[in-house]
Copies of this chain bind each other. A is one copy, B any other.
Amino acid sequence: MSTFNNVTVTKAANIYYDGKVTSRVVSFADGSTKTLGIMLPGDYEFGTEKAELMEILAGDLTVKLPGSDAWQTIKGGDSFDVPANSKFQLKVSAVVDYCCSYLD
């Protein structure tokens, strides 16, 4: 799916890490939300509240998921799940375009 239709977009961006990570919130009629975001090359740590499905639309990164000591290689077209109320670490090596879905 290349577009999201009949959605609400919050105009102001979320800005993290001096703008190296940014995202915007997209809200759907069923009450669910996603963010569409960009991560520039760098090392990041994020925390979740809800569980997340991270779809990597483009770019290259490695991710260390909660409870793992291994860094997993992720490329454009790949996705990964992050549990609720957890932390995960990312090393981005090529600009990442992503879609994050918040799961109930």
Q: Does A52 make an interface contact (CB < 8 A)? A: no
Given the interface pairs A24-B24, A24-B36, A38-B19, the reply to whether A4 lies near B13 with Cβ below 8 Å is: no
Q: Does A58 make an interface contact (CB < 8 A)? A: yes
* Interface contact B11-A8, CB-CB below 8 Å: no
Shortest CB-to-CB span from A46 to chain B, Å, is: 18
This chain: copies in complex: 2
Q: Does A40 make an interface contact (CB < 8 A)? A: yes
Q: Point out the residue from B8, B15, B99 that lies within 8 Å of A4, measured CB to CB.
A: B8
Q: Does A57 make an interface contact (CB < 8 A)? A: yes
Nearest first, the 6 A-B pairs at minimum CB distance are: A19-B95, A13-B97, A22-B38, A4-B9, A5-B8, A19-B40
